[in-house]
Amino acid sequence: MDFDEYVAARGQALERFAYVLTGDAHRAQDLTQTALLKAYRHWRRVTAAEHPDAYVRRIVTRSYVDWRRRGSSREEPVDVVPDLPEEGASADPAERVAARDELRRALVTLSPKQRAVLVLRDYEGYDDAAIAATLDCAEASVRSHASRGLARLRAVLSEPTVPEELR
């Protein structure tokens, strides 16, 4: 498969994956473009890999972690989260929007590695060994990041969002 065919076939899936990592559509597009540029530069190596798609997702994940580590932009845009289908969603669209916003705000509090681990585990379905290979760290580190990330999410999501004087 040549590069153009790959992008046509997998580009949208990569962008959705990047969106889950970044939480922002524009940053997801930038991250996807950055990763595809890196993949294009080394396309022979990508196509020679046993699983080219996993290779490119690894580039996306590492680019995300590197981008967050550099801290080139601490700006957190506030825009409308696109409607995503949810199982067991309430009938009131405002409740769904509020729940998504609460989760998005909670995810922002995680470190880049914690967020990457949770996205790879829960969104992509990777096991600890695959996550460790993707992030180039030990499986114990993956479990530690997952544990701390989930604990942080639980703590943030359990905090009351309405000031006490307004209840």
Dump pLDDT digits (tens) for 43-89: 999 999 889 899 999 999 999 988 766 654 555 555 565 555 555 55
CB 153, CB 107: distance < 8 Å: yes
* Per-residue pLDDT band at 167 (split at 50, 70, 90): very low
Rg of the chain over all Cα atoms, to the nearest angstrom: 17
Per the listing, tokens 């590492």 go with 62
- Mean of the pLDDT values across residues 33-43? 93
Q: Report the distance separating Cα 82 and Cα 97, nearest Å.
A: 9
Q: Kindly state the percentage of the chain with pLDDT values over 90.
A: 47
- Mean pLDDT check: name the lowest of 20-34, 74-88, 105-119: 74-88
Q: Report the distance separating Cα 120 and Cα 134, nearest Å.
A: 9
CB 152, CB 45: distance < 8 Å: no
Q: Where are the domains of the chain?
A: 3-70, 93-161
Q: Which CATH architecture does the domain made up of 93-161 adopt?
A: Orthogonal Bundle (1.10)
